[in-house]
Amino acid sequence: MTSATTPISRRSFNRLIAGSALAAPLIGTRAFGQDAATFKIGYIGPQSGPLGIFGAHDSYLIETITANLAGGIDVNGTKMNIEIVTADTQSDPVRASQITRDMINSEAPDLILTHSAPETVNPVSDACEAGATPCLSTVAPWEAFYFGRGGKPDAPSFKWTFHYSFGSANFLNLYNGQWSLLETNKKVGTLVPSDADGNAIRAGLLPKLAEAGWEVVDAGPYENMSQDFSTQINAFKDAGVEIVVCFPFPPDFPVFWRQAAQQGLAQQLKIMQMAKAGLFAAEMEGLGDLGQGLCTGVYWHPAFPFASAAAGVTNAELAAGYEAATGAQWAQALGASASLFDAALALAVQAGSPKDKEAMAAAMPKLKAETAVGTVDFGTGPMHNCAVSGLAGGQWNKASEGPFQFQLDLVSNADFPGINLTSEFKPLAFG
């Protein structure tokens, strides 16, 4: 590989697929005849609305994957074309459910993929469960997917819908490891919304933080798209917290953080930790100097030593190719969405018959695949329908070079000890 956009070689590509425990290699260059069967994948996510930033990469990613798999795939000797159909949830859970049902009825996909917070993942998954259509999802805490949909801890709760992502244990591991790198009073203010994510975090993570020795100051649930966070800010100031961790919609965080700076909270903090918000460089650019030093979990990064079989490139190449083609900065959602297609291709081969939905559903609990976010292994998951992917620690810093204002540095690696860090973790420094 000689440049940032050079595809993986055929030998490397087949070796990557073999590492996913596939029974046969994917073939990305040989043209198949018109009579080849078609593996139809539905891809549903937010491309507009409050969560639309999670889908900003979709056009580039679909074009890249479609071009790489233009020759089709070989599934146990059966030649198959790939077709991808997409739909925009507009960040609306009701619409997410409706367009999923519409896609199942009109397009009859063999598999549906979805991502980006429970507000998308859960209604899409529920519609797939009702419509007897296999579904893979990612980028929402697995507890919000499983328990948020009524899953039971003592028995398999869903037949058709499976999810891999980080969970409360990953957040706990990340926060314990990263926050301990700085000297603080260990008082943590928690800004947690009243939604599926927030309910899972409040039930699963906050008690664990307290057990780990952090003094948790929970300001109580708030409604998404709130415009006034004075109550929470005053509670954090009065308690003397030096760390705040939050889980807001992306548009909500700037409202909170600007008010925190205006009311003196930001100057009090040493660590401002974000989840769901704070994943995108555009958010930092909108904040200007207030973006410096903010922290976020990292579920995908160009520096992660993984690759996407579906896109045919390494993580570093995927990011560089996106930036070269669009002029926009890479984002974590790009690699996470690529990993869905990696898992989908692995599932197709491991199931042996992608057109057989029963076979696909039966294969999902045993799915193991090498993806852009690392190994996805449902055989080792915390629940029948869930697998866990990890989190590294990231901090936004002003870029030292290049065309972009901010860079996301890797500053801790509790879940990924083999990943090299790119910067030292530094405290906030607002005067």
The beta-carbon contacts of 323-331 under 8 Å, at least 24 apart in sequence, are 324/4, 324/5, 325/60, 326/60, 328/56, 329/281, 329/282, 329/404, 330/302, 331/53, 331/56, 331/57, 331/279, 331/280, 331/281
Q: If pLDDT is split at 50, 70 and 90, which confidence band does 430 have? A: confident
Amino acid 22: pLDDT: 32
Q: Where are the beta strands (DSSP E) in 23-156?
A: 37-45, 73-75, 78-88, 111-115, 135-138
Angle at 167 between CA 336 and CA 358, to 5 degrees: 65
| Residue pointed to by tokens 């449902």 | 378
Q: Considering only residues 201 and 289, tell me which one the structure prediction assigns the higher pLDDT.
A: 289
Amino acid 110: pLDDT: 97
Q: Which of 48-57, 228-237, 329-338 has the least mean pLDDT?
A: 48-57
Domains in the chain, please, with CATH? 10-166+301-388 (3.40.50.2300), 169-298+399-412 (3.40.50.2300)
Confidence check: pLDDT of 210 > 70: yes
Q: Are 252 and 275 in contact (CB under 8 A)?
A: no
**Residue-wise pLDDT tens digits, 112-155:** 999 998 999 999 999 999 999 999 999 999 999 999 999 998 88
Amino acid 280: pLDDT: 92
**Residue-wise pLDDT tens digits, 83-101:** 999 999 999 999 999 999 9
Helices 315-326 and 332-351 cross at an angle (nearest 10°) of: 120
Confidence check: pLDDT of 358 > 70: yes
Alpha helices in 294-378 (DSSP H): 315-326, 332-351, 357-363
Q: Are 206 and 246 in contact (CB under 8 A)?
A: no
243-262 average pLDDT score? 95
**Residue-wise pLDDT tens digits, 151-173:** 998 888 999 999 999 998 999 99
Amino acid 30: pLDDT: 31
Give backbone dihedrals phi and psi of 306, rounded to 5 degrees, phi first.
Answer: -120, 180
Amino acid 154: pLDDT: 81
**Residue-wise pLDDT tens digits, 7-51:** 344 334 333 433 333 322 222 223 333 445 999 999 999 999 988
Amino acid 24: pLDDT: 29
Task: Give the span between the Cα atoms of 226 and 222, in whole angstroms.
Answer: 7
- Mean pLDDT across the chain, nearest whole number? 90
DSSP state of 420: P
